[in-house]
Structure 1
Amino acid sequence: MRPSSTLSLLALGSVAQAAVSLENSSLPPRDIENIERAIEARSLADDIWNDIKNAATCTACQGILVLLKGIAVFGDGAFVSVATELCKLAKVEDDDVCEGTVGLEGPIIADAIRNMDLGSDTSKLFCGSFLGLCPEPSVPQWKIPFPSPQPQTGRPAPSGKTPLKVVQYSDIHIDPLYVSGSSSNCTKPICCRPYTAADEPGKSTSPAGPNGDHKCDTPVGLEISMYQAIKNIVPDAALTLFTGDIVDHAIWNTSQPYNQKQISDAYTYMSQYLGIVYGTAGNHESNPTNAFPPRSISNSSQWVYDALSDQWTRWVGASAESEIESIGAYSTKYPNGNLRVISLNTNFYYRMNFWLYQEGIEQDPDGQIQWLVSELDAAEKAGERVYIIGHMPLGEGDAFHAGSNYLDQVVKRYSSTIAAMFFGHTHVDHFEVSYSDYNSRDASHAVMASYICPSLTPTSGMPSFRVYDVDPETFAVLDTTTYIADMANADFQTTGPVWTKLYSAKETYGSKLNPPVTDASVELTPAFWHNVTALFESNSDVFNEYISLKSRGWNVASCTGDCKTQELCQLRAGRSENNCVVPSIGLHLNKRSDELHGHSHHRSHDHQECGMSAGMKTLGSLAVRKDLLDELETRANDIKGSSDTESSSDESDSDGPSERDSARSPDLQSPAGAARSTSAAGTASNTGPGGAEPATGTNTNAASGASFVSGGTGSATSLPPPPSPVLSATAIKLPLLRNSPPPTPSPSSPDSSPTSADRELDNAPPLQSLTMPSVCALPTPPRMPPSSVTRASAREQTTAAEAVDELETTTRLMPRYVNHSGS
């Protein structure tokens, strides 16, 4: 049982020696004894805590990584078990949420930590994102190569012709398990599900209405209501932009078939009610949530690309299929005008995509930036205008500085070709301005506007969508209007949502500029949007109106002083390194709606917009709670002791591999101790490691009607699923609108035969005839087998002499956490 790099083990503090069994070690026994005695001389947790108190925060985080690596090296099961217990102790979430979320995302985090170099930029990036203990490293310099020089022509003037209508909606987050009458007040990330008997309809003291609640995701009826409103309000819409996130926020309880069903149903409804729809991949489309690895690491997101391709090709054509299935992005020509729509997979730059914390991650994951340059250059030569759509805005704190910087270079170069950019993700109504020089953020240097659409899901405000007036020739945005369904309206839960105009940009902001910008034929240029931020800065009344409109008039909080300064900085940041966001210890980069409404202060109201990672919040708690640090060290030493006992038992039992050895993580069984194969945390099929058929023992998810593997070959270290009663099939019928037909299979789908999930849902009784079981709980997702990845690790076994050299290097790098005794 020997891990692949002695360096990574000698840097593991009090658990280092545990990872090298004596019978396989090439180190002399005396060296091992001295290392163990020196490392265990004092508590790492005490040193780490002292460093945090003395503001040596980055050093402290490296110490925390020492402990985490010492656990992760023993496999995903060990890491998930410890992280789950810490999550429960920290009361980050309810126990079942901790178990489900950490069980899904934990293997990906463990794999990154296991292969992370202490002191590297990757480790500092991890420390900043997870614990707020390190500033983000400087952006690695990369000057994007462009195939042609930038033309001197600026943005084309609008034609003055009758505008077209373009619709945008985002973050629909459909909850097919929403139950009218169930409790809207709960301790879960989302409510309006009968998690307990007390939450059941007729028993709750805060029953949810049939059409939605601010503490819950979107019922299907509200979704269809929006499509119908779009069809009625904008019957002549030229095209629709959907900027991602279909799946609900119950991220502890998702599965691949469940997400596939959600994706299929949503796009089928869109095709029934709307015309051309151009979509993009949201971070919630994958399972586990946020998991989009570059192909150089794993192909475990192939299934979601295939699922999206099956839906998108009905609008973008078969010619874009290979792009979608390769990187989750596409470029397509709008058939009725001189416009190209480019959909980016922004998940490659997302801070909570834990696959991106691997050492040596490429600057341009899957070559998407170079592909984008090629598409934009071809569009420029063809005289086309371009809309860029994506899920996450590039100036948000959620965006890695490096990826945002590289994309910003591309935006600057092709600023005359790109008419506008459209995003979602934040759930609130706002915008971002990009500049040619971020040291001179003024109207003359403004080069691009990003339109960030508020969400349909009502967790951050009123359900919303936008309509843009655009020039029919230049496709420049001439005005933007937001429509909402006012949930405060007395008729919202009875006769149904009523969709009305909330505001338009020219009426609300343009009319107050000097000189006013109200002409219907004038473009909302990047300079216009910078001038709006200047208006906010000088006019508190207008700024306060903007703050109210962000949440569409719901739960409006005051924003003055530092809050206002920060907000203005973010509006003037199309590049994330310039958004003034500084992580603080134990505090993560929440979405703007969380910051605005203070949702992070009370768990019962912590219905977070992005489905915040329980694993990230758990590790962040280590930076602010000494008791959790002590527990982490105790668990690490427990694992060490267990490993020592195993080693002694294995040596005395037989010369061959023991039963316990064969149950360990594949990471510790490969010949070099480092070979990693396709990750099971989000694989394209529910098979055991290496693509083997699943082991016996499946758990049927009533939400999707599919069976899931709760264990597989080599997965003995995984946590077993917690006992949980499962809703009967009759309790999960999609709550459709009255007399609304269910979605029909897409004609473009290669296999339109009904699945078991389709049959179970279709055969369920109508919603109004449901009877809830006496004990209601949602089906528990399966435990994923231990993860690994497709690329081989760069770490190889070392000789005894190399190990001594590595120990000396580590001692210089981490004097506090290795050479404690001075011996």
Structure 2
Amino acid sequence: MTVALGPSTFAAPGAFPTSIFGSYYNDPTQTSSQVQPVISDPVTNVVYPLSLTSPDTIPLLDTKDPTPFPPPASADAIVAAAIRQIQLIASPNTPSSPFINDLCAACQAVLLPAKFAFLAAPSEGASIAVALCEALNLAGSTEACEVGFGQFGLANVVTQVISNADVAGYDGQAICFAFGNGACPRPPTTPLNLTARRAPSGERLKVLHLSDFHIDPRFKTGAEANCSSGLCCREDAFAQSSPNATLMPAPRFGSYLCDTPYALALAALESVPVLTGTLGTGFNFTIYTGDLVSHDPMNELSRDYVLYTEASLPLSFLLVLLSRPQTVVYDLFKKTLGSGPVYAALGNHDTQQSAQDSPGVYGDFLYKTLVH
């Protein structure tokens, strides 16, 4: 069956058919310009002005209408999205992924979504830390990651460190080198300017350097001093070869695998002036480079335990530097070692949680406290 068509050409009329629209802003019979019909909204009856469509009044920047953005995501959505990106970077689902053959790039890349998720939802840090552990194969299994990097593991440390790190730069490369199974090469160290050293005066000074006392108020004389794991000289310490009988009873003045008992700490301090010939004179100055607290695992530490240690030690000059009241034991420290200023640096064990600065004021709290 043949379908009949019309003519193959059409000639448009010279004048615009004015009956198409009810009214016009210009003369619709003109052929030198396009028509500008008057158009109104059929619902609101608002008449659109000529300036909206006139070729002579095109706006350079029309900011009348809002630019819509999606609503903010919830903490759960941010964490889920971050974990998904971490998984895709660590295990790409496309053969052309740039991360397949570049372990360093992949390691630093997984830190980026983790960082922003940590910043946006720090309370969900455990889930993100476990995902990082799995992506970088830091513990060997999902179960080990959940224990080591979960809520009661290193989650809070990982959350704080990565939140404040430049993960796309030097910090990220250092993290991937040290904790990412060597995924990145060791970043170069910043060169030191040694040309501005002060000329030596020739005066001989007596300087005392103390460090890492790790006082153990839980030390138990007579407990196992040669234990198989953990902190020895504790009530629960034992040797695997003899779990029910102590092989090496902890002596009063401590043992190699144990932290420092009070007897050893005070004996050491009392010996310093005698052995150094500073009785009655003291030192020109003393340097203490941190670590007062014992090596207890996280689950056995508390804020009160750390404060007790700092308040009870003859080295509690740290509390004075932190504007805490001077204690009797600090007086003992001064009387034992003599006069002279003490310059202190906090160690990673001198905070609670261990190895962390205060999360709310990260970056300059310790500097301002100790220097100012």
User: If the TM-score is normalised by the length of the shorter chain, which range does it land in?
Assistant: 0.5 to 0.7
SS of the counterpart of 1:194?
coil
Give 2:355's aligned residue: 290
Distance in 1 separating the partners of 2:206 and 2:193: 37
Q: 1:242 to 1:270 in 2, by over 3 A?
A: farther
Distance in 2 separating the partners of 1:164 and 1:221: 30
How far apart are residue 128 of structure 1 and its match?
2.5
1:122 correspondence with 2:178:
no
Q: Which runs of 5+ in 1 are unaligned?
A: 19-38, 306-323, 331-823
SS of the counterpart of 2:356?
coil
**Which structure would you say has the larger Rg?**
2
CA contact (8 A) 2:225 2:232 kept: yes
Q: Taking structure 2 as the reference length, what is the TM-score of the superposition?
A: 0.54
Distance in 2 separating the partners of 1:124 and 1:290: 20
Q: 1:329 to 1:45 in 2, by over 3 A?
A: farther
State the AA in 2 paired with 1:273. Answer: T
SS of the counterpart of 1:285?
coil
CA contact (8 A) 1:251 1:288 kept: no
Give 2:247's aligned residue: 205
Distance in 2 separating the partners of 1:247 and 1:67: 35
- Partner of residue 262 from structure 2, selected from 200, 220, 226: 220
Distance in 1 separating the partners of 2:273 and 2:243: 33
Structure having the higher helix fraction is: 1
Q: Which runs of 5+ in 2 are unaligned?
A: 1-71, 315-328
Give 2:208's aligned residue: 167
State the AA in 2 paired with 1:133. Answer: A
RMSD of Structure 2 on Structure 1 (CA): 5.1
Aligned residue runs from structure 1 range 620-631, under 5 A: none
- Partner of residue 256 from structure 1, selected from 274, 278, 303: 303
Distance in 2 separating the partners of 1:298 and 1:57: 33
SS of the counterpart of 1:103?
coil
Distance in 2 separating the partners of 1:260 and 1:59: 42
Q: 1:125 to 1:84 in 2, by over 3 A?
A: closer
Distance in 2 separating the partners of 1:138 and 1:17: 27
Distance in 1 separating the partners of 2:177 and 2:364: 26
1:156 correspondence with 2:201:
yes
Give 1:58's aligned residue: 104
Distance in 2 separating the partners of 1:164 and 1:186: 42
Distance in 1 separating the partners of 2:190 and 2:270: 47
Distance in 2 separating the partners of 1:301 and 1:227: 32
CA contact (8 A) 2:224 2:247 kept: yes
CA contact (8 A) 1:104 1:288 kept: no
1:246 correspondence with 2:278:
no
CA contact (8 A) 1:80 1:103 kept: no
How far apart are residue 45 of structure 1 and its match?
10
1:184 correspondence with 2:225:
yes
- Partner of residue 91 from structure 2, selected from 32, 35, 43: 43
Structure having the higher strand fraction is: 1
Give 1:743's aligned residue: none
Q: Taking structure 1 as the reference length, what is the TM-score of the superposition?
A: 0.27
SS of the counterpart of 1:328?
helix
Q: 1:45 to 1:274 in 2, by over 3 A?
A: farther
State the AA in 2 paired with 1:124. Answer: Q
Give 1:2's aligned residue: 73
CA contact (8 A) 1:172 1:246 kept: yes
How far apart are residue 15 of structure 1 and its match?
1.1
Aligned residue runs from structure 1 range 272-311, under 5 A: 272-276=335-339, 278-283=342-347, 284-292=349-357, 298=361
Q: 1:165 to 1:110 in 2, by over 3 A?
A: closer
1:265 correspondence with 2:265:
no
State the AA in 1 paired with 2:223. Answer: S
Distance in 2 separating the partners of 1:108 and 1:136: 22
Give 1:106's aligned residue: 155
Aligned residue runs from structure 1 range 505-654, under 5 A: none
Per-residue displacement from partner, 1:747-802 (whole Å, max 9, x unpaired)? Answer: xxxxxxxxxxxxxxxxxxxxxxxxxxxxxxxxxxxxxxxxxxxxxxxxxxxxxxxx
CA contact (8 A) 1:293 1:301 kept: no
CA contact (8 A) 1:245 1:282 kept: yes
Distance in 1 separating the partners of 2:214 and 2:261: 9
Give 1:135's aligned residue: 185
1:15 correspondence with 2:15:
no
